[in-house]
Amino acid sequence: MVPVSPRSPLPEIESDIDVTTLALDRQLHFSGLESLAADTGGAVLRGEPERAFERVLRETSGYYRLGFEPEGNDRDGQARELRVSVTRKGAVVRARPSDVFRPAASPRETSGDLVTALRSPTLAMDIPVRVATGRLRLPSPAG
């Protein structure tokens, strides 16, 4: 069997893949990327790479990041609908449709260097990190 190319809508001429299987293979190939884009408010760009990069550059050349602090009643662990609108014509708004606000953490949970570093407006360069590595020996193909 000849592998299916994600760039081609048709199998190679010597392929024995039928059209239905090809369509399912292409759907599986792209479904993870489509799901990720949908969940994050992004988009999957197909076609000429130059045009895709031009679009990315155009859309990221200027942006606003909106933030807010939920009030006490909002922190009940229930999903809250979020709506963002703008008056500027042609502006693209990418926002989560909803979010869940957990109850505020206790002082005990918020202590520590890591939390302090994450809350700091400057980069933290001195957080200790521990890393472990290992190897897994695979059985030899001969047996």
Q: Give residue 15's pLDDT.
A: 67
Residue 24 confidence class, pLDDT cut points 50, 70, 90: confident
Q: Give residue 141's pLDDT.
A: 75
Domain boundaries of the chain, sorted by first residue:
1-45, 63-119
Is the model's pLDDT at 50 over the cut of 90? yes
**86-131 pLDDT tens trace:** 898 888 887 778 888 887 766 666 567 777 777 888 877 766 667 7
Q: Which of 15-19, 27-31, 100-104 has the lowest mean pLDDT?
A: 15-19
Q: What is the 3-state secondary structure (H, E, C) of the chain?
A: CCCCCCCCCCCCCCCCCCHHHHHHHHHHHHHHHHHHHHHHCCCCCCCCHHHHHHHHHHHHCCCCCCCCCCCHHHCCCCEEECCCCCCCCCCCCCCCCEEECCCCCCCCCCCCHHHHHHHCCCCCCCCCCCCCCCCCCCCCCCC
Q: What is the spatial distance between Cα 17 and Cα 125, in angstroms, rounded to a whole number?
A: 53
Does residue 16 or residue 101 have the better pLDDT? Answer: 101
Is the model's pLDDT at 1 over the cut of 60? no
Report the predicted TM-score, pTM, of the whole model to 2 decimal places.
0.38
